[in-house]
Amino acid sequence: TIFKREAKNIPPYPGPNRMRDCYCTVNLDQEEVFRTKIIEKSLCPFYGEDFYCEIPRSFRHLSFYIFDRDVFRRDSSIGKVAVKKEDLQKYHGKDTWFQLQPVSADSEVQGKVHLELRLSEVITDSGVIMLECQGLPIVNGQCDPYAAVSLLGPSRSEAKKTKVKRKTNNPQFEEVFYFEVTRPLSYTKRQFDVEEEDVDKLALRVDLWNASNLKFGDEFLGGVRVPLRALGQAGVHDAWYFLQPRENGGKTVKVEELGSLRLNIVYTEDHVFPSEHYTPLRDLLLQSANVGPVSASTAHILGEVCREKQEAAIPLVRLFLHYGKIVPFISAIAHAEVNRTQDPNTIFRGNSLTSKCIDETMKLAGMHYLQVTLKPIIDEICAEHKPCEIDPVKLKESENLETNRENLRHYVDRIFSVITTSGVRCPTVMCDIFFSLRESAATRFEVDQDVRYTAVSSFIFLRFFAPAILSPNLFHLRPHHPDPATSRTLTLISKTIQTLGSLAKSKSVSVFFCFQSRDQTRPRICIRRAQGRNRFGMKNFKKRWFRLTNHEFTYHKTKGEGALCSIPIENILAVERLEEESFKMKNMFQVIQPERALYIQANNCVEARDWIDILTKVSQCNRKRLSTYHPSAYLNGHWLCCKLSADAAPGCTPCTGGLPANIQLDVDGDRETERIYSLFSTYMTKLIKMQEACGSKSVYDGPEQEEYSSFVIDDPQETYKTLKLIVSAVQTLEQQHTKYKRDKFKKTKIGSQYSRDVGKATYKKIKMDNSPKTEVKNLF
């Protein structure tokens, strides 16, 4: 999670209008995954935006770029902040000002290189084996890398090059280069009557370049410098190196002249054990709905000890959704909260565990419903650009107040209508939760007949639809931020909907039926591979506009044109990633049908993940879904993954989809339990203090001590029993983690390739019987 706060002291524009129109991007290395709105006419832009994503691949830097858009809509970079992955924990959860650094082609480096050096004892040749590279950047849409290898030292100028590897950012070179050197003075046997040089003072330089057809020459991708003293007594050195920027490659710029950026970065990387390790803690959590009172349950206690209720709500909701127990859990904690509420006007208005859990459930289970309901009208508002400003102070000279008021009324009526008639599409899990809220509120406040409806409308309007209208890009209703005028229109509509929701007394507003529908339009421009007989070459890939509804998945030549191809949803057998080696292209996935597979390239890794998720969700009820698939393409008469020659051969890898349709969420229950363990471990001191509070309430029948007043403890004895079980389960997992880290440290070999990609999906599943893990170290 990244909270982008603000920037300050951005250098002024060199012209009469010194202000800038700035936006900020979030990048994994050099791949953009998020972009903020544009703040116009400011040198200290305030963004105030949150961005959350699951990281689907390994990365080296989390980078933030500040761009300026001029009057011709051209973007130029002002500066950047690049945080190394290993430094993210240093800034975890802290508001931090970062100085913007200059952006130059020579400093934009990512990837690593695998080298093997040998010093022969028979002949004085230093052999360099250029093996491979991984994760090189894509430059101007392509990557055709080659390596330049040189030996550095006094009177040394030898330089040799590898062959160019076309269309890949993970090149396999497997080339050997020899450099003749004489033995150092430290050798006792002198076999050569030539001037000697000290090998230990020499160094090897490897630079990676992108072979460009442009007149400006080849682009620098990164380099490493390896002192030959790394050979040691054995005369052999085999290691991976992170590529580094070119020395003195960038222009000299005073850092303070570029301004600074304030960020709050929350980064978690989970180390997940096999499922059986989590059984004690998981069982305690899943029994929470059946514990009486619910305040003595494990899940409720987690909400009591966490600093923010949101911390507890996220993993709890995902865990209970995964095991199909979210409705009884939320019903239990909501019923308890309603019984503690004295004023019906304040029901569910605080940031309680109940409110946060319902918010998170709506966000996960209701995203599709939200898009079906609001996306068409939001798209219309963004396309029409009708003025809706009703503040006389902000009214433009060319605008009419009555006309604007009528435009706003028209949009509000349309949106309010689609919301109140959308009950048949509301997900079942949300309907069940709202029914439970209504019944609890009606039982608690029998005199107030309206509270049963306002209890629901406060969630559906204030916490669900209104925020989506205000920031449609955060709910995947729009690909980017609306322009300032449209954003103002959406703000006015959102505020009006919030007001209507808080005043809603109508049964039709708050009662939702338990039917589901998956109508959806998710247009995106992607690159798809032709489905004809010709299986070879990049020429088969065409840029197409994709559209998804609950009935079909179609693609079009351009937006608005008729469909070139329509795939019925019931014909989708699986949706999975496609290995990059198939076509030397990143961010690929495949939509598998009975007769063939459609190969598609998304714009970036996050978008590819979104497409896979939503296509899997809408097709997961299909009866003929596959259990296995081929992760690579069928080319040159065989499958690249398993080498089988039969086009119809069964898949060689288990499919990743197939969760129950009523959940529609890809969740790893062990991972969520691990996160809950981490929270309990972090707040262990509060667990101990809560135990003391239970003892105090049991022994003393007097005023509650102030230090214990923050805990909700309805039954001290039951709560104390649960706390003892929690502490025991957490301490057991803590011992297992300590043992794993100790064993991992012993088995780590510096400089070797890590056996698994660190950071894949932001977590690692640990198998206890795996071979030793090793880690890439920066040896530069």
Ranges of each domain in the chain: 2-102+261-265, 112-184+199-242, 325-512, 521-654
Q: For residue 759, what pLDDT band results from cuts at 50, 70 and 90? A: very low
φ, ψ (nearest 5 deg) of residue 352: -85, 170
Superfamily the domain 112-184+199-242 falls into: C2 domain (2.60.40.150)
Is the pLDDT reported for residue 538 higher than 80?
no
pLDDT tens per residue across span 9-21 = 888 887 777 888 8
User: Which residue did the predictor score with more confidence, 754 or 54?
Assistant: 54
The most confident of 391-400, 420-429, 668-677, by mean pLDDT: 668-677
Let me know if 278 is exposed, middle or buried by CB neighbors in 10 A (0-12, 13-18, 19+): buried
Contacts of 307 (CB under 8 A, 6+ apart): 683
Q: Is the dihedral of CA 298, 304, 305, 311 positive or negative?
A: positive
List the beta bridge partners of residue 204.
151, 226
Q: For residue 518, what pLDDT band results from cuts at 50, 70 and 90? A: very low
Read off the pLDDT of each residue in 83-100 and give the average, rounded to a whole number. 87
Choose among 348, 285, 327, 261: nearest CA to 3: 261
Find the length of the chain.
Answer: 780
* Pairing of the two strands 219-227 and 638-639: unpaired
Task: Evaluate whether 2-102+261-265 and 112-184+199-242 have a shared fold.
Answer: yes
- How far, CA to CA in Å, does 620 sit from each of 296, 572, 575, 770? 37, 9, 10, 32
The predicted pLDDT at position 531 comes to 46
For domain 325-512, which CATH number applies: 1.10.506.10, 3.30.450.40, 3.40.50.720, 2.60.40.1660?
Answer: 1.10.506.10
Read off the pLDDT of each residue in 669-674 and give the average, rounded to a whole number. 90
Query: Measured between alpha carbons, how far is 526 from 528 in angstroms, rounded to an integer?
Result: 6
Is the pLDDT reported for residue 355 higher than 60?
yes
Read off the pLDDT of each residue in 549-557 and give the average, rounded to a whole number. 83
Separation of CA 469 from chain center = 22
User: Which residue did the predictor score with more confidence, 646 or 216?
Assistant: 646
Q: For residue 665, what pLDDT band results from cuts at 50, 70 and 90? A: low
List the beta bridge partners of residue 22.
39, 68
* CATH architecture for segment(s) 2-102+261-265: Sandwich (2.60)
* CATH architecture for segment(s) 521-654: Roll (2.30)
Q: What is the mean pLDDT of the chain?
A: 79
Name the pTM for this structure.
0.65
Query: Measured between alpha carbons, how far is 394 from 402 in angstroms, rounded to an integer?
Result: 14
